[in-house]
């Protein structure tokens, strides 16, 4: 079973709409989450990271974290066709020590329709 689970598997939103992506870890030791965006045929690029309860906003992107439930969500407002990509959630745990290991989910494929 994936230790980092993402939903939905795929999502279609209209241009200008709001996209909401979810990620949950089943590993109680996880303490840090990242969100990556990967355009087709390209490498993953980090969007945002979060380790404190609450919300973090950068431009059109907002990330929420609930540490009690180990649930994070990424919200993209005013979605653009260029936002169409695979969105990956990753988590790390202090139990792995200073290894830099990230556990990735399978991703959510976002399609923004003009």
Partner 1 sequence: EAAVTQSPRSKVAVTGGKVTLSCHQTNNHDYMYWYRQDTGHGLRLIHYSYVADSTEKGDIPDGYKASRPSQENFSLILELASLSQTAVYFCASSGTANSDYTFGSGTRLLVI
In the list 30, 76, 102, 110, the residue contacting partner 1 (rule: CB under 8 A) is 102
Q: Give CA–CA dist 55/20, Å, rounded.
A: 14
What 3-state DSSP class applies to 82?
Answer: helix
Cβ nearer to partner 1, comparing 69 with 98: 98
**Residue 65 engages partner 1 in binding (rule: CB under 8 A):** no
DSSP state of 98: T
**Residue 39 engages partner 1 in binding (rule: CB under 8 A):** no
Measured in residues, the chain has a length of 114
Interaction residues for partner 1, span 78-97 (CB under 8 A): 88, 90, 92, 97
In the list 34, 70, 73, 74, the residue contacting partner 1 (rule: CB under 8 A) is 34
Using CA atoms, how far residue 28 sits from 25, 52, 71, 86, 96, in Å, is 7, 15, 11, 26, 13
**Residue 42 engages partner 1 in binding (rule: CB under 8 A):** yes
Q: Give CA–CA dist 34/92, Å, rounded.
A: 9
Cβ nearer to partner 1, comparing 18 with 39: 39
Could you list the residues that contact partner 1 (CB under 8 A)? 2, 32, 34, 42-46, 88, 90, 92, 97-102, 104-107
């Amino acid at each position: 079973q994936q230790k980092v689970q993402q939903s939905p598997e795929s999502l279609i939103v209209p241009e200008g709409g709001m996209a909401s992506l979810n990620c949950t870890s089943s590993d109680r030791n996880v303490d840090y989450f990242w969100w990556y965006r990967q355009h087709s045929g390209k490498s993953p690029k980090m969007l945002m990271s979060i380790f404190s309860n609450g919300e973090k906003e950068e431009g059109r992107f907002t990330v929420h974290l609930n540490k009690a439930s180990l649930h994070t969500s990424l919200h993209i407002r005013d979605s653009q066709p260029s936002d169409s990509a695979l969105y990956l959630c990753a988590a790390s745990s202090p139990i792995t020590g200073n290894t830099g290991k990230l556990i990735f989910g399978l991703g959510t494929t976002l399609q923004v329709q003009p």
